[in-house]
């Protein structure tokens, strides 16, 4: 990690507009220009420290030094994350709420998720075979939306699928940069959340009243009956936000699937390696997709109490932003960091602070993503399905992706054509693959 002391300060006024314009490039460019992995700037009208690298992530995920209350920008809360959920809890309240999520992620339930996702994918592939071409990102978003809602135990009617899927997509992708999307698309994200939460609240009420029976191992049951530290059930709003948090983020993994198919297209030798799956190649491939391709650019927190680090005084309530994407591409941590090379994960010395596409640190004690194991398992199975169970072509299209858009994806949405199912059922795929249910980082 390169640290210049005193910590450099970016000249000029508030840089929020530059952040919106530059997206994933905002922090990495300034680290380069200022020659330091920590620098000071101004964002949303306040002094802000931006930082990147393993050492920075270790400090950022120290619960004694940082808190989440007041750190998340309002647009993100209103659309993507919701208000009153696990993301903005701190201390014991956070640990207690996080346990609720981790109780859903048992090995059996993760296997369930994988099975359901492959089933939905196979159903879709039957439809794809009847069409000239399909936009893979949209198709996988629907696969994951339906799989997530089924897995969570929600009573989803056939005629509701399109509407509920669109709500989930609008919450995650509100039409451009997550920070700087247009007012109209942001409004779409907010109204999608309102409608979805209202639907969930109705369902939770029925479960609590004993009018809807649901298996006790499902997210729906666990959230509906979860009690807070004060012994009271979660209030209905928070319950709907966190129930949504148990499956909505799977939509994010659809972007990784589109990027993975792009990687397969650009590196044709990878397809055979994926099929052979020697040394758990599919695991290495999924990890490299998460490392190399952009999804979450950064994470924000506020200083909990004054401390000094590298001679810099971090003052209580100061805004600090960790460069997630830049850490995954940091040259100190990754050889040829800007190359797509799954084999790098073969002898990788696992570190919970060097590889942080879904946050860093400890899943139980900190804010690291509760769905990381699920993400990797589902990604592996999808990539294996797409290479072993179907054949397809990638026609001429615009495969560029815009690094100022958050989330970003190949501009065409990744069109595939001439889809043919090569096996009648994906059952072999599911049986022969032993899942890794614990991904250390
Ligand atoms: C591509 C897939 C995903 C990405 C890129 C992603 C990314 C992230 C990131 C960056 C965080 C914040 C870490 C922090 O606060 O420092 C997070 C937290 C979280 N994620 Fe994910 N996530 C993904 C999939 C999932 C899935 C599938 C689930 C659930 C099934 C999930 C549930 C959560 C929850 C509940 C939190 C809050 C954890 C906490 O605050 O303690 N995520 N995720």
The 3 state secondary structure assigned to the chain is CCCCCCCCECCCCCCHHHHHHHHHHHHHHHHHHHCCCEEEEEECCEEEEEECCHHHHHHHCCCCCEECCCCCCHHHHHHHHCCCCHHHCCHHHHHHHHHHHHCCCCHHHHHHHHHHHHHHHHHHHHHHCCCCEEEHHHHHHHHHHHHHHHHHCCCCCHHHHHHHHHHHHHHHCCCCCCCCCCHHHHHHHHHHHHHHHHHHHHHHHHHHCCCCCCCCCCHHHHHHHCECCCCCECCHHHHHHHHHHCCCCHHHHHHHHHHHHHHHHHCCHHHHHHHHCHHHHHHHHHHHHHHHCCCCCEEEEEECCCEEECCEEECCCCEEEEEHHHHHCCCCCCCCCCCCCHHHHCCCCCCCCCCCECECCCCCCCCCCCCHHHHHHHHHHHHHHHHHCEEEECCCCCCCCCCCCCCCCCCCCCEEEEEEECCCCCHHHHHHCCCCCCCCC
CA of 330 to the centre of ligand 1 (A): 21
Nearest CA to ligand 1 atom 13: 359
Q: Could you tell me if the CB of 199 is within 6 A of ligand 1? A: no
User: How do residues 239-263 score in pLDDT, each as one tens digit?
Assistant: 999 999 999 999 999 999 999 999 9
The answer to whether the CB of 148 is under 6 A from ligand 1 is no
Does ligand 1 have an atom closer than 6 angstroms to the CB of 200?
Answer: no
In this prediction, residues 11-16 reach a mean pLDDT of 93
86 close to ligand 1 (CB < 6 Angstrom): yes
Confidence of residue 268 (pLDDT cuts 50, 70, 90): very high
Alpha-carbon span 94 to 66, nearest angstrom: 13
Q: Is 299 in the pocket of ligand 1 (CB under 6 A)?
A: yes
Nearest CA to ligand 1 atom 36: 369
| pLDDT at residue 228 in the model | 95
The answer to whether 277 touches 286, Cβ cutoff 8 Å, is no
pLDDT at position 432 over 60: no
What pLDDT is attached to residue 347?
87
Identify whether the C-beta of residue 170 lies closer than 8 Å to the C-beta of residue 178.
no
In CATH, 16-432 is 1.10.630.10: yes
Per-residue confidence band for 433, with pLDDT thresholds at 50, 70 and 90 = low
Domain ranges (residues) in the chain: 16-432
Indicate the length of the chain as a whole number: 441
Residue 126 pLDDT more than 90?
yes
Q: Rounded mean pLDDT of 80-106?
A: 96
CA separation for the pair 421, 127 (Å, rounded): 10
The pLDDT score that the predictor gives to residue 439 is 44
Is 182's pLDDT higher than 70? Answer: no
The model's pLDDT over 132-161, given as tens digits with 9 standing for 90+, comes to: 999 999 999 999 999 999 999 999 999 999
Pocket test for ligand 1, best of 249, 372, 381 (most atoms within 8 A of CB): 249
Nearest CA to ligand 1 atom 43: 369
**For residue 166, how far is its CA from the centre of ligand 1 (angstroms)?**
20
Q: Which atom of ligand 1 is nearest to the CA of 322?
A: 16
* CA-87 nearest atom, ligand 1: 40
ipTM of model over 0.90: yes
**Ligand 1 centroid vs 145 CA: distance in angstroms?**
16
150 touches ligand 1 (CB under 6 Å) = no
């Amino acid at each position: 990690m390169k640290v210049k002391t005193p910590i450099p300060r970016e000249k000029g006024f508030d840089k929020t507009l530059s952040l919106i314009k530059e997206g994933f490039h905002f922090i990495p460019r300034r680290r380069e220009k200022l020659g330091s992995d920590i620098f000071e700037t101004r964002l949303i009208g306040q002094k802000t420290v931006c930082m990147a690298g393993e050492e920075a992530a270790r400090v950022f995920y120290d619960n004694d030094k940082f808190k989440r209350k007041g750190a998340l920008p309002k647009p993100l809360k209103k659309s993507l994350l919701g208000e009153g959920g696990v993301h903005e809890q701190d201390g014991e309240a956070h640990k207690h709420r996080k346990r609720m999520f981790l109780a859903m992620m048992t090995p059996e339930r993760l296997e369930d998720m994988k099975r359901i996702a492959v089933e939905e994918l196979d159903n879709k592939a039957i439809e794809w075979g009847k069409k000239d071409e399909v936009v893979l990102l949209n198709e996988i978003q629907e696969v994951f939306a339906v799989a997530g809602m089924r897995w969570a135990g929600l009573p989803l009617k056939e005629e509701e699928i399109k509407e509920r899927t669109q709500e989930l997509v609008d919450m995650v992708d509100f039409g451009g940069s997550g920070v700087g999307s247009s007012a109209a698309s942001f409004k779409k994200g907010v109204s999608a959340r309102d409608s979805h939460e209202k639907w969930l609240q109705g369902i939770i009420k029925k479960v609590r009243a004993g009018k809807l029976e649901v298996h006790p191992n499902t997210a729906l049951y666990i959230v509906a009956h979860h009690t807070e530290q004060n012994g009271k059930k979660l209030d209905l709003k928070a319950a709907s936000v966190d129930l949504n948090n148990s499956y909505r983020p799977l939509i994010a993994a659809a972007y990784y699937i589109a990027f993975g198919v792009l990687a397969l297209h650009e590196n044709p030798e990878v397809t055979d390696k994926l099929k052979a799956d020697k040394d758990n190649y599919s695991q290495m491939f999924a990890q490299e997709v998460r490392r190399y391709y952009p999804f979450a650019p950064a994470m924000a927190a506020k200083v909990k109490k004054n401390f000094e680090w590298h001679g810099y005084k971090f003052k209580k309530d100061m805004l600090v932003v960790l460069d997630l994407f830049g850490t995954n591409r940091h040259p100190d941590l990754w050889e040829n960091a800007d190359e797509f090379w799954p084999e790098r994960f073969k002898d990788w010395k696992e570190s919970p602070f060097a590889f942080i596409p879904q946050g860093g640190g400890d899943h139980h004690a900190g804010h690291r993503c509760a769905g990381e194991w699920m993400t990797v398992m589902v990604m592996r199975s999808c990539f294996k399905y797409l290479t072993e169970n179907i054949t397809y072509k990638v026609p001429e299209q615009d495969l560029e992706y815009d690094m100022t858009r958050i989330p970003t994806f190949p501009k065409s949405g990744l069109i595939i054509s001439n889809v043919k199912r090569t096996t009648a059922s994906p059952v072999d795929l599911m049986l022969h693959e032993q899942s890794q249910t614990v991904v250390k980082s």
